[in-house]
Amino acid sequence: MPGYKAGGPIRSVANMVGNLKDEFDFYIVTRNVDYCEITPYSSIRSDAWNQLSDGERVYYISSKKLSHSTLKKIINAKPWDVYYINGIYSYYFSILPALLLRKNKQNQVTIAPRGMLAKSAISIKVTKKKTFLSVAKLIGLYKNVAFHATNENEKNEIITELGEHTVRVVPNLPKKNTGIGWQQKIKKENELKLAIIARISPEKNQQFALELMKNLSGNVSLNLYGPVYNETYWSLCRKIISDLPHNISANYFGSVESDKIEKKLEEHHFLLMPTLGENFGHIILESLSVGCPVIISDQTPWKELENKRVGWDISLNNTEKFASVLQKCVNMGQEEYDELSKSAFVYAQSIINDSTVVDQYEKIFY
């Protein structure tokens, strides 16, 4: 809207708005630049309300105007029915709104941590995050708020880190159905095209994926997409890429706009995602939805994928299983691949078309 480089948390909001915009009026407050960028979006008016094509209204704040007074002015502009805070650690868009609304008892305040209280997320800059969470509890920052967890694991993470609170468990909403049917991809034996679509950072574990490539036989192409979040980590990845054997091609293509992701996935046989942890993993569902099976770690909510014939979820401690699955995929022919691809598509459609998930958002907004 139009940002995309922050990944999952932004996609969660975009999907929520896309599915619920006919029932609720959304007013969204965000920066006028994408994640890790300094150039403002070209298609918007900064420091003003913009009405987008689907009817949602977005206030894009410039760095010059981003302040306590601006946020307070927006919060007090009208009697909003619900304040929905996306994330935990952003000072201006998570912490400051919670501070400004700390004494609010008349309007509903809901905070969606978006997996930021998971152990794998807290382990990055752990001292800074643990200190903040301790101070937040001490001053009662979240005394009058409810939390939106997307699964029972996240509910337990919230209670573990912040103590007892009202936590409403409602799954993430998928991207709305495009109505396009399953389409066959050519899959030859001894050839494999893999995609990794995630920011380049330790928690996304691209280094692990690249190490797995070293001993594969056959012609393998691994394409990496996403913004570089950690330059030191990316340097380690580039070193591995330069040392890969001649039968393995690994290339980096930068970020992909959200509306072009499905097209990229259609160009590959499998999504590879050995992540250290995901609250939901929108890219996993997007991949399945275009008939692109997945090879992922077991650190996501997506489980028993092999039994469902849509991919594999594998322990990061079991590198041998990762390697054997990848080699199996290299060796796979058209008929076996078509079975997996069709199963992935059908499975994704059953999730995308589940209207009961939309109905559950009444728990949050009513």
CA angle 187, 191, 192 (to 5 degrees): 80
Same domain assignment for residues 153 and 204? no
> Does 284 fall in a domain?
yes
Predicted local confidence at residue 1, as pLDDT: 61
Residues 227 and 200: beta-carbon distance below 8 Å: yes
Q: Which CATH number covers residue 288?
A: 3.40.50.2000
Q: pLDDT per position in the chain (366 positions), as tens? A: 677 667 788 889 988 998 898 889 999 999 999 877 889 998 899 999 999 887 889 999 999 999 999 999 999 999 899 999 999 999 999 999 999 999 887 779 999 999 999 998 999 899 999 999 999 999 999 998 999 999 999 999 999 999 999 999 999 998 877 768 899 999 999 999 999 999 999 999 999 999 999 999 999 999 999 999 999 999 999 999 999 999 999 999 999 988 899 999 999 999 999 999 998 999 999 999 999 999 999 999 999 999 999 999 999 999 999 999 999 999 999 999 999 999 999 999 999 998 888 889 888 887
Predicted local confidence at residue 105, as pLDDT: 74
Same domain assignment for residues 46 and 19? yes
Same domain assignment for residues 54 and 154? yes
Same domain assignment for residues 39 and 91? yes
Write the CA distances from 314 to 25, 154, 299, 302, 311, integer angstroms: 41, 21, 9, 11, 10
According to DSSP, the residues that pair with 273 across neighbouring strands are 296
> Does 91 fall in a domain?
yes
Handedness of CA 145, 150, 153, 157 (dihedral sign): negative
> Does 178 fall in a domain?
no
Predicted local confidence at residue 5, as pLDDT: 62
Q: Residue 115 has what DSSP assignment?
A: T
> Does 179 fall in a domain?
no
Same domain assignment for residues 40 and 142? yes
Q: Which residue is associated with the tokens 């990061």? A: 316
Residues 165 and 156: beta-carbon distance below 8 Å: no
The torsion angle over the Cα atoms of residues 162, 164, 169 and 175, rounded to 10 degrees, is -20
Q: Which CATH number covers residue 101?
A: 3.40.50
Same domain assignment for residues 213 and 329? yes
Nearest-angstrom CA–CA distance, 107 and 127: 33
Predicted local confidence at residue 35, as pLDDT: 78
Nearest-angstrom CA–CA distance, 62 and 65: 5
Handedness of CA 177, 360, 117, 6 (dihedral sign): positive
Sheet containing 57-61, strands listed edge to edge, beginning at the edge strand earlier in sequence: 27-31, 57-61, 49-51
Q: Which structural domain range is residue 277 located in? A: 191-352
Predicted local confidence at residue 362, as pLDDT: 81
Same domain assignment for residues 27 and 92? yes
Q: Which residue is associated with the tokens 């594998």? A: 314
Nearest-angstrom CA–CA distance, 246 and 32: 43
Q: Is the peptide bond before 2 cis (omega within 30 degrees of 0)?
A: yes
Helix, strand or coil, per DSSP, at residue 6: coil
Same domain assignment for residues 199 and 162? no
- In this structure, the strands spanning 219-225 and 82-86 are unpaired
Number of domains present in the structure of the chain: 2
Residues 185 and 291: beta-carbon distance below 8 Å: yes
Nearest to 36 by CA among 236, 283, 255, 197: 255
Half-sphere exposure of 329 (CA within 13 A, CB side): 29
> Does 150 fall in a domain?
yes
Predicted local confidence at residue 4, as pLDDT: 66
Same domain assignment for residues 122 and 86? yes
> Does 127 fall in a domain?
yes
Helix, strand or coil, per DSSP, at residue 234: helix
Same domain assignment for residues 155 and 280? no
> Does 78 fall in a domain?
yes
Same domain assignment for residues 22 and 143? yes
> Does 2 fall in a domain?
no
Give 42-86 as a DSSP string: TTS-TTSEEE-TTS-EEEEE-TTT-SHHHHHHHHTSS--SEEEEE
CA 77 to chain centre: 31
Same domain assignment for residues 330 and 213? yes
